Amino acid sequence: MVSSLGCATGFSEAPKQAVFPQNRVLRLVEEFMLLANMAVAHQIYRSFPEQALLRRHPPPHTKLLNDLMEFCDQVGLDIDFSSAGALHKSLNETFGADKYSEARKEVLTNMFSRPMQMALYFCTGVLEDETLFRHYALNVPFYTHFTSPIRRYADVVVHRLLSASLGTSPPIKMEKDAIQLQADHCNDRKMASKRVQELSADLFFAIFVRECGPLESEAMVMGVLNEAFDVLVLKFGVQKRIYCNALPLLGFQFQKVGRKPELTLMWEPERPEQEAVSQVITIFTLVDVVLKSDGVPLKYSAVMKRPGSEK
């Protein structure tokens, strides 16, 4: 069976099964679809080495991945980086079965997504080095889109190339540069579609917060910056940035302990007789947040509650 990084990075080439739980039958269908796509890729490349329209997935950015490996080493996470499949398996097995395991997995998955590059359509005639054809997430040398349920332009070209390779239709009369131009267009549309989907989800949730907020939830820190940190809001599954200057702090300090970033927050005392409260924010830290509308149409923000505040 094919080893896919899949949901671990969000670059899975298999159909998404978001609504229904994936059982063995669905998994088997998915594997056969992947195998069909690989078989078609081999067939059209053999027949039309200058015109085949394939899909490649470059390996992760080396420096970013090395930094992440050091971070995992430092915090004691045993992650296998040897291949996309090994990485996916590690992410599924690392965090146990407590109530925060899925949240920790999602946080680390988000971190592993950062070094990853996007998969791209391309014409084989414009790349001289065959090793660049490889699909990292699926760990296969040749891959294309043949079984997609949506008839994208790329799929139509692949079907016509396959038909021509089997002798059931005439060859496509397109030069490699023209095919690459269309591949670039497909890549641009794919990126635009992904961005629109993200913005649509943000828009819907902003309306939800405006109508039903303020909303309180536990959150897990997934990224630490000099003056802010990102959290995964556990109850609603959204990601949000919290800025230190929006909190009632006496001050804050950022530092890196090896590859592990930390923010130390000094909270103002609620009453004069109380002392300031220190809080260290790092990856996987649990905090309580409030999501509320900003008063600006379709905008909302996240504010962290003071440590020890009543929930």
Mean pLDDT of 50-75: 88
> Is residue 311 pLDDT above 60, yes or no?
no
- CATH for 214-304, among 3.40.50.300, 2.30.29.30, 2.40.50.140, 1.20.1090.10? 2.40.50.140
> Is residue 175 pLDDT above 50, yes or no?
yes
Place of tokens 């962290």: 304
Query: Is residue 20 very low, low, confident or very high in pLDDT (cuts 50, 70, 90)?
Result: very low
> Is residue 21 pLDDT above 80, yes or no?
no
Report the DSSP beta bridge partners of residue 215.
291
Q: Which three-class secondary structure state does DSSP give residue 75?
A: coil
Position 217 scores a pLDDT of: 93
Mean pLDDT of 258-265: 88
Place of tokens 């109508």: 211
Position 80 scores a pLDDT of: 82
> Is residue 252 pLDDT above 50, yes or no?
yes
Position 1 scores a pLDDT of: 43
pLDDT digits (tens, 9 = 90+) for 180-221: 999 999 999 989 988 999 899 899 999 999 999 899 999 999
Position 304 scores a pLDDT of: 92
Edge-to-edge order in the sheet of strand 249-257 = 249-257, 260-267, 277-281
Query: Is residue 149 very low, low, confident or very high in pLDDT (cuts 50, 70, 90)?
Result: low
Position 15 scores a pLDDT of: 43
Mean pLDDT of 296-309: 84
> Is residue 73 pLDDT above 70, yes or no?
yes
> Is residue 145 pLDDT above 70, yes or no?
yes
More confident residue, 285 or 14: 285
> Is residue 275 pLDDT above 50, yes or no?
yes
Position 18 scores a pLDDT of: 40
| Domain definitions of the chain by residue range | 6-59+117-204, 214-304
The rounded distance, in Å, linking the Cα atoms of 142 and 73 is 33
The rounded distance, in Å, linking the Cα atoms of 285 and 296 is 30
Q: Which three-class secondary structure state does DSSP give residue 283?
A: coil
Position 309 scores a pLDDT of: 64
Position 4 scores a pLDDT of: 44
The rounded distance, in Å, linking the Cα atoms of 223 and 106 is 12
Q: Cβ(80)–Cβ(89) under 8 Å?
A: yes
> Is residue 36 pLDDT above 50, yes or no?
yes
Q: What percentage of the chain carries pLDDT values higher than 70?
A: 90
> Is residue 239 pLDDT above 60, yes or no?
yes
Q: Spell 122-155 as b/e; 16+ CB within 10 A means b.
A: bbbbeeeeeeebbbbbbbbbbbbbbbeeeeeebb
Query: Is residue 10 very low, low, confident or very high in pLDDT (cuts 50, 70, 90)?
Result: very low
Query: Is residue 310 very low, low, confident or very high in pLDDT (cuts 50, 70, 90)?
Result: low
pLDDT digits (tens, 9 = 90+) for 84-100: 778 777 777 776 677 78
Query: Is residue 131 very low, low, confident or very high in pLDDT (cuts 50, 70, 90)?
Result: very high
Query: Is residue 14 very low, low, confident or very high in pLDDT (cuts 50, 70, 90)?
Result: very low
What are the C-alpha distances in Å from 153 to residues 50, 157, 190?
19, 6, 11
Position 244 scores a pLDDT of: 92
